[in-house]
């Protein structure tokens, strides 16, 4: 046998081994707390794929009195297990309503995960100082969240004044609002000077969805180019339910069509709104993005390029 044939056989054997390893990886069990299922996502994640919405919980940090959600501990190590299952390598920690304006846990978690690949959205109120905002910016915070569904630390009255204060920093206001609330706040939202990010497909009402005032407001904001939407939380408000969440997927498709450059994706792990015995399958949620955005190049923008612009991650050089 010639050296050439030996080389070809070796190359073929190497390729077969790589394919077998890939298949083995796809079949590897991934036990992730607060997530149904154990198989890895079928859709390959591109380099620098970003999970733009997840939380950490830790009983070392006290919940605010009357907190509407009190999930059990969900740690940095638990989240790393989720990353191994979905293939994401970048992420954005979102301060939950549980801790009010005490951002210590998520700042600590961002540092533990590594600030090169992680950012954070904090919660502040109208008493925050400019010095504190600058400190948070230096630590990797790139926005402030208003949770007006599980309301507590922030109010709608604080939104415009804080938006004006953070706009020069190129931060955004992240809004967890129902579709009904979005429609009612149309005039206010249209005049905000900062960027806007809507959680969970704008939580559009099930009965109306694409015919709702909230969706109309969303389209107006998306047309201006300063608003982003997270294609996350498909299980929220879905009547179709698992595994396909067809009604929520339809909304995600419509939002993507309105402005593909302003869509990002998030896991919402550890799914604090869902009962412990009813957590979604995170691999399926990741794979459903391919149904919402079938084109791979467009999906890569949702997972990599759009988050890089919004959260100030380093961008890959174009050749």
Q: 79 - beta bridge partners?
A: none
Helices (H) and strands (E) in the chain, counts: 12, 8
Q: Which stretches of 71-215 are assigned E, i.e. beta strand? A: 90-94, 118-122, 141-147, 172-176, 195-198
- The answer to whether 30 and 84 are in contact (CB under 8 A) is yes
Cis previous bond, 243, omega within 30: yes
Q: Two tokens at 15?
A: 């390729």
Stated as kind and residue range, the H or E segment containing 311 is helix 306-311
Q: How far apart are the first and last CA of the chain?
A: 42
Q: Two tokens at 25?
A: 């990886």
DSSP type of residue 178: -
Q: Could you give the CA distance from residue 212 to residue 193 in angstroms, rounded to a whole number?
A: 24
Q: Give the phi and the psi of residue 229 in degrees, each rounded to 5.
A: -130, 135
Taking alpha carbons only, the member of 268, 255, 265, 266 closest to residue 299 is 265
Catalytic one of 268, 281, 282, 305: 268
Q: Could you give the CA distance from residue 71 to residue 90 in angstroms, rounded to a whole number?
A: 24
268 belongs to the catalytic site: yes
3-state secondary structure of 94: strand
Annotated catalytic residues are 268
């Amino acid at each position: 046998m010639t050296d050439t044939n030996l080389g070809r056989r070796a190359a073929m054997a190497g390729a077969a081994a790589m394919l077998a390893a890939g298949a083995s990886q796809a079949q590897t069990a991934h036990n992730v707390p607060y997530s149904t299922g154990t198989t890895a996502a079928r859709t390959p994640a591109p380099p620098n794929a970003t999970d733009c919405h997840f939380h950490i919980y830790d009983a070392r940090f006290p919940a605010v009195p009357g907190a509407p959600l009190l999930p059990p501990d969900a740690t940095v190590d638990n989240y790393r297990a989720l990353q191994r299952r979905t293939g994401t390598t970048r992420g954005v920690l979102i301060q939950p309503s549980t801790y009010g304006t005490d951002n210590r846990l998520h700042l600590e978690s961002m540092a533990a995960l590594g600030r090169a690949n992680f950012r954070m959205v904090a919660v502040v109120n109208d008493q925050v100082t400019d010095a504190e905002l600058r400190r948070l910016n230096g630590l990797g915070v790139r926005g402030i969240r208003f949770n007006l569904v599980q309301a507590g630390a922030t109010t709608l009255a604080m939104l415009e004044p804080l938006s004006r204060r953070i706009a020069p920093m190129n931060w955004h206001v992240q809004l967890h609002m129902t579709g009904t609330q979005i429609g009612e706040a149309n005039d206010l939202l249209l005049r905000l000077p900062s960027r806007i990010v809507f959680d969970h497909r704008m939580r559009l009402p099930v009965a109306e969805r694409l015919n709702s005032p909230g969706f109309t407001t969303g389209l107006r904001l998306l047309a201006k180019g300063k608003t982003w939407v997270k294609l996350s939380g498909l299980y929220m408000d879905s009547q179709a339910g698992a595994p396909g969440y067809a009604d929520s997927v339809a909304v995600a498709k419509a939002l993507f069509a309105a402005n593909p450059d302003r869509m990002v994706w998030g896991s919402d792990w550890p799914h604090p709104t869902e009962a412990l015995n009813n957590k979604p399958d995170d691999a399926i949620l990741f794979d459903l993005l391919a149904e919402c955005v079938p084109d791979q190049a467009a999906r890569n923008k949702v997972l990599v390029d759009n988050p890089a612009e919004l959260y100030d991650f380093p961008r890959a050089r174009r050749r």
